[in-house]
């Protein structure tokens, strides 16, 4: 994969403000639902950092986002189930993050688009099937998540669905998901850093986005019991489909 050409010095103040606000708003959504930041921000930052820079920059940002969410939901985390999921997720994440560094930008755009669009029917299918898992199923679900998330973003619905099927809900669901996501994103930062996919400009961009998400995690924690989830789900599905379609268009036209 070619080195990203993104230059932080070339970003104007209006773009900084726009991305920062989007990061803050997305973090509120993520604090309520457990996912959403990784679905919304890639669409916002792709024109700024370039498609090849989206996943490395998001890895840094999401590490900070999920750390703040872990702090906000610390007392609610289901530690035994988090450890089971991490046992499957971490090694698979290392492998898939490495594979990501070898892909051309058009392939990255295509995979991002397919995964985002596909996540909508996947979430609906899992919910309608009433999927239930044992401890072994949590490890397997974590492994599936690790394989996909190493080179993708915004797939929190997978690990959320796994934990929900194991009986984790409410604040425990959000906190436990955040802990798993924190570790997988730290793995991605390490892999991308050693493979030169994550340069200094992308790292600083990710840090700035992550900083903007910190207050949103605590706002989301406050809103958790006050938000109409049906409305959120419909809006998220629409955003995911739009974002996925935009990445597929980039891949099709070669504009990645």
Say if 116 falls within a structural domain. yes
How far apart are the C-alpha atoms of 34 and 217, rounded to whole Å?
10
Gap between the Cα atoms of 221 and 72, Å rounded: 7
In a domain, 73, yes or no: yes
CA dihedral 195→199→202→208, nearest 10 degrees, is 110
**DSSP secondary structure letter of residue 236:** H
Is 3 contained in some domain?
Answer: no
Domain that holds residue 67: 8-253
1 domain-assigned: no
pLDDT tens digits for the chain (256 residues)?
A: 444 467 787 888 899 999 999 999 988 887 777 677 887 888 899 888 888 888 889 999 999 989 988 998 899 999 999 999 999 999 999 998 888 778 777 777 787 678 767 767 876 777 677 666 788 989 998 998 898 788 877 777 778 778 877 878 778 888 999 999 999 999 999 988 887 778 888 899 999 999 998 998 888 878 876 766 676 567 656 766 776 787 788 778 776 5
DSSP characters over 4-57: P---GGG--HHHHHHHHHHHHHHHHHHHHHS--HHHHHHHHHHHHH-HHHHHHH
In a domain, 2, yes or no: no
pTM: 0.76
Could you tell me the two tokens for 143? 């492994």
Q: Is the dihedral of CA 136, 162, 248, 103 positive or negative?
A: negative
Answer yes or no: is 37 within a domain: yes
**Contact (CB, 8 A) for 246 and 39:** no
d(CA 220, CA 84): 26
In this structure, the number of other CB atoms found within 10 A of the CB of residue 79 comes to 10
Q: How many domains does the chain have?
A: 1
Has residue 109 been placed in a domain? yes
């Amino acid at each position: 994969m070619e080195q990203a050409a993104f230059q932080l010095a070339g970003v104007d103040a209006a773009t900084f403000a726009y991305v920062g606000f989007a990061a803050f708003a997305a973090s509120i959504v993520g604090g309520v639902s457990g996912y959403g930041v990784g679905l919304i921000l890639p669409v916002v930052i792709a024109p700024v950092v370039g498609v090849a820079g989206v996943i490395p920059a998001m890895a840094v940002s999401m590490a900070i986002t999920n750390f703040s969410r872990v702090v906000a939901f610390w007392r609610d985390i289901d530690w035994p189930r988090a450890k089971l999921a991490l046992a499957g997720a971490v090694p698979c994440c290392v492998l898939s993050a490495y594979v990501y560094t070898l892909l051309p930008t058009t392939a990255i755009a295509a995979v991002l688009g397919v995964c985002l669009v596909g996540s909508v029917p996947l979430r609906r299918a899992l919910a309608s099937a009433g999927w239930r898992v044992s401890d072994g199923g949590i490890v397997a679900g974590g492994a599936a998540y690790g394989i996909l998330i190493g080179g993708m973003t915004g797939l929190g619905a997978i690990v959320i669905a796994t934990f929900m099927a194991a009986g984790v809900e409410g604040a425990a669901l959000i906190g436990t998901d955040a802990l798993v996501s924190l570790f997988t994103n730290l793995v991605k930062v390490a892999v991308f850093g050693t493979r030169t996919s994550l340069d200094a400009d992308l790292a600083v961009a990710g840090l700035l986005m992550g900083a903007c998400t910190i207050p949103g995690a605590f706002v989301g924690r406050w809103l958790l019991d006050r938000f109409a989830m049906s409305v959120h789900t419909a809006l998220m599905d629409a955003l995911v489909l739009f974002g996925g379609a935009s990445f597929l268009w980039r891949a099709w036209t070669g504009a990645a």
